[in-house]
């Protein structure tokens, strides 16, 4: 957790995403969905495909934020374009509903 905090402080996209996971899952800290969302969003905007996927999942499921399928699709597409197969699967699933 402390190493992820340091890498996030240095604005390392993967570190931001990893720290977001810690806050989402309560690893080394208390669960804080607002903080997880903020970190995923920052990392996703810096181009991290894992964060883009995690952000899309939050939007799709309304986990900690308001459910927004259009935003979920947007972020799944960004992640899928970078080769994330899980994002492509979720994107196909949403588009075929």
- Percent of the chain whose pLDDT exceeds 90: 79
- How many Cα atoms within 13 Å fall on the side-chain side of residue 55? 29
Domain with 53 in it: what CATH number? 1.25.40.10
- pTM as predicted: 0.88
Rg from Cα positions in the chain: 13
Q: Are 79 and 56 in contact (CB under 8 A)?
A: yes
Question: 47: domain range?
Answer: 2-95
The pLDDT of residue 12:
75
pLDDT tens track for 44-77: 999 999 999 999 999 999 988 999 999 999 999 9
Residue 8: predicted pLDDT = 61
- Rounded mean pLDDT of the chain? 92
Contact 32/40 with Cβ under 8 angstroms?
A: no
Q: How many domains does the chain have?
A: 1
The tokens for 49 are 């495909």
């Amino acid at each position: 957790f402390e190493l992820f905090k340091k890498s996030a402080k240095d604005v390392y996209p993967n570190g931001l995403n990893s720290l977001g996971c810690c806050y989402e899952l309560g690893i080394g800290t208390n669960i804080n969905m607002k903080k997880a969302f903020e970190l995923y969003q920052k990392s996703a905007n810096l181009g991290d495909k894992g964060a883009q996927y995690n952000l899309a999942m939050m939007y799709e499921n309304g986990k900690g934020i308001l459910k927004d399928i259009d935003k979920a699709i947007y972020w799944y597409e960004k992640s899928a374009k970078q080769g994330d197969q899980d994002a492509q699967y979720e994107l196909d699933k949403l588009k075929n509903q």
